Homo-oligomer: A and B are copies of this chain.
């Protein structure tokens, strides 16, 4: 098992000294931690829409990503869409995989573990009787989501499992899915 007393150094592509310095900076000024993420979405046709990511707020200032990212969603033809892009619910699966994976890389680096592979498959089981309005007993969302990680690095199985567990404990997306998140909807007609 790799020692955790190695001096902080970049590992797994994570700049560990800067990560620790950032956490110290937030400790000294918790207001830095108030972030707001944003997306703008435009309906295109049918079930097809497009979102753009650019700006966000954080560290007490307006900020922007280094590039604009565009993503789209649609329904597949079996659900009467044109299948231009993944469905909205499929983006939840990317979100949970990516959030846990970034946490795994950070936690491993902080613990002095060098990773050589982290891959995952995510499945989401959903019964469309809910969204089709055909059952009052079936929920609209996923019945369950399962994330299966394959993880390799210079540590024993127990250490690798503990890294995944710590990532789960601090995952924003895991929390957003497993606990209720307030969603407010405002409508400006006309």
Residues in A lying within 8 Å of B, measured CB to CB:
12-15, 18-19, 22-23, 26-27, 30, 33-49, 51, 53, 56, 58-59, 63, 65-66, 69, 71-83, 85-106, 115, 117-135, 139-152, 157, 160-161, 164, 168, 170-190
Contacts and interface: CB of A to CB of B under 8 A. Distances in A.
Contacts of A44: 13
Given A33-B134, A47-B102, 15 more contacts: A12-B45, A13-B45, A30-B135, A38-B121, A39-B93, A40-B121, A41-B119, A41-B121, A53-B90, A88-B94, A91-B98, A130-B170, A146-B183, A148-B186, A180-B180
A48 B89 CA distance: 21
A162 B68 CA distance: 33
Return the 4 tightest CB-CB contacts between A and B, nearest first.
Answer: A13-B45, A13-B46, A141-B176, A141-B175
A74 to B, nearest CB: 8
A6 to B, nearest CB: 18
Given A140-B175, A164-B185, A181-B178, A30 B124 contact: no
A117 B41 CA distance: 11
Nearest to A16: B80
